[in-house]
Amino acid sequence: MKDLSITICGVKFPNPFMLSSSVVSNTAEMIARGFEGGFGGVSYKGIGGPHIEIINPAPRMHSYNYGSKKMVGIQNVEQTTDRPLKDNINDIKWLKKNYPKNVVMVNIMGFNKDEWRDLAIISEDAGADILELNFSCPHMSVEGSGMKVGQAFELVREFTEIDRNAVKIPIFAKLTSNVTDITEPAMYAKEGGANGITAINTVRGLIGVGIDDFVPYPNVFGKGAISGYSGPGIKPISLKCIVELAKKKELSLPLIGCGGIETWIDAVEFLLSGASLVQMTTSIIRYGHRIAEDLCEGLSYYMEDKGFKKVKDIVGKALPNIHETSEFDLSRQGAIQFDLDRCIGCGECYIACQDAGAQCIDWDSKKRRPIPDETKCYSCMICSFVCPIDNPPLITFKEIKGKKIYMPPSKM
């Protein structure tokens, strides 16, 4: 196994994989098992002030399925921790005592200035290595909390500043994607003294509505709510947010990626896009702590294959390749290539090309084979998405030097 450690803001993580602040980090017992399973750190489930009693709705979550694939995502209406503050503090102390090599970040969410300060101090005293300020929960029922802070940028700065002045440990602001431009609140957090950014929290969403009772999921006794959507379905959004934050030169803070990470490949993509660490919940809900083994092993082999010595060396490697679309070289064109020896003749490519593509694939009904015409192909590639033959794909893209783009003639 390669050395997977990475040091962020002076805190050394044994590996870049963390449990995020959520149901998977609710108690020391759970987190201890996560550490034993191989996770390098945790963001301890969001703690709030002692005077607001948190009662979670029932049921709390609902799975979003696609075809026979269950849990493409999860929608939850879970609140911050409902455990007494004392218990959480004792658990944090216990974790630091028993797992000194693992990093305990504590996620806090205050409902007023004093609370933000008090929670920060209590956490630091309990032994927290890092603070994570929750400016992003998309469904807190208490006004002036969670995502509503993340959307009111002045408050982001104000609360960050309060905590920056209250404690010495590094502070990360956990942001929501439910804004036009995530780099704006990130800059406010930086101004308030944040040392890093965690992005993103769950995305405000609605995974479905009961078509018999007209109640959205999860159905909380006849009521549904727009709330936090997580899992593989949001990965493109969270990855985008990391790229935006990483490319913001004025920000230049360490980033923790979060949202839809399940395999070591997902994790490497986040690292390549500028995150130094990654956090997970939905994938742990799906598979349990045992995913840590595969994350670590997968990353280690990847580093070996690619010749990376340190995890740090991977961070941001893809950023130079991420541009505005206006910078594309439009003089270079290409077309689909078929490896017809491996074709089984289902004709899915033909249907896709006819109904949604360039109509550049014809069909030999006797042989049951597609007849591609690369001069008409405009490289949408949808045929390759529906082709059932993969690894390696049967339909690929190839540059064709000097290719002119074919324009379908008008019917009139």
348 versus 373: smaller Cβ distance to another protein:
348
The side-by-side arrangement of strands in the sheet containing 227-230 is 61-66, 69-76, 227-230, 203-205
Q: Is residue 210 near another protein by the rule CB under 8 A?
A: no
- Token output for 407: 């324009």
CB of 405 to another protein, least distance (A): 26
Site string for another protein, 43-82 (x = CB under 8 A): ------------------------xxx-------------
Q: Is residue 382 near another protein by the rule CB under 8 A?
A: no
Phi and psi based region of residue 274 (left: phi greater than 0; alpha: psi -120 to 50; beta: remaining): left
- Token output for 51: 């005077």
CB of 347 to another protein, least distance (A): 3
Judge whether 353 counts as a catalytic residue.
Answer: no
How many CB atoms neighbour CB 313 within 10 A? 14
CB of 343 to another protein, least distance (A): 9
166 versus 346: smaller Cβ distance to another protein:
346
Q: Residue 107: in which H helix or E strand, if any?
A: strand 103-108
Count CA atoms closer than 13 A to 401's CA, side-chain side: 0
Q: Residue 130: in which H helix or E strand, if any?
A: strand 130-134
Instruction: Report the C-alpha gap between 257 and 243 in whole angstroms.
Output: 10
Tell me the window of 94-102, 150-158, 363-371, 402-410 that interacts with another protein (CB under 8 A).
363-371
CA of 321: how far to CAs of 226, 243, 261, 290, 318, in Å?
35, 11, 21, 33, 5
Phi and psi based region of residue 280 (left: phi greater than 0; alpha: psi -120 to 50; beta: remaining): beta
CB of 213 to another protein, least distance (A): 17
- Please identify which residue in 225, 389, 393, 403 interacts with another protein, judged by CB under 8 A: 389
Q: Is residue 348 near another protein by the rule CB under 8 A?
A: yes
121 versus 344: smaller Cβ distance to another protein:
344
34 versus 370: smaller Cβ distance to another protein:
370
Q: Are 319 and 243 in contact (CB under 8 A)?
A: yes
What is the footprint of another protein within residues 130-159 (CB under 8 A)?
A: none
CB of 258 to another protein, least distance (A): 30
- Please identify which residue in 365, 401, 404, 407 interacts with another protein, judged by CB under 8 A: 365
What is the footprint of another protein within residues 318-347 (CB under 8 A)?
A: 344-347
- Token output for 35: 């550490």
CB of 67 to another protein, least distance (A): 5
Q: 127 CB contacts (<8 Å, ≥6 apart)?
A: 92, 93, 95, 96, 97, 104
Report how many residues bind another protein under the rule CB under 8 A: 15
179 versus 352: smaller Cβ distance to another protein:
352
Active-site option among 9, 137, 346, 349: 137
One-letter identity of residue 1:
M
252 versus 365: smaller Cβ distance to another protein:
365
Binding residues for another protein, per CB under 8 A? 67-69, 344-348, 350-351, 363, 365, 368, 388-389
Active centre residues (catalytic): 137
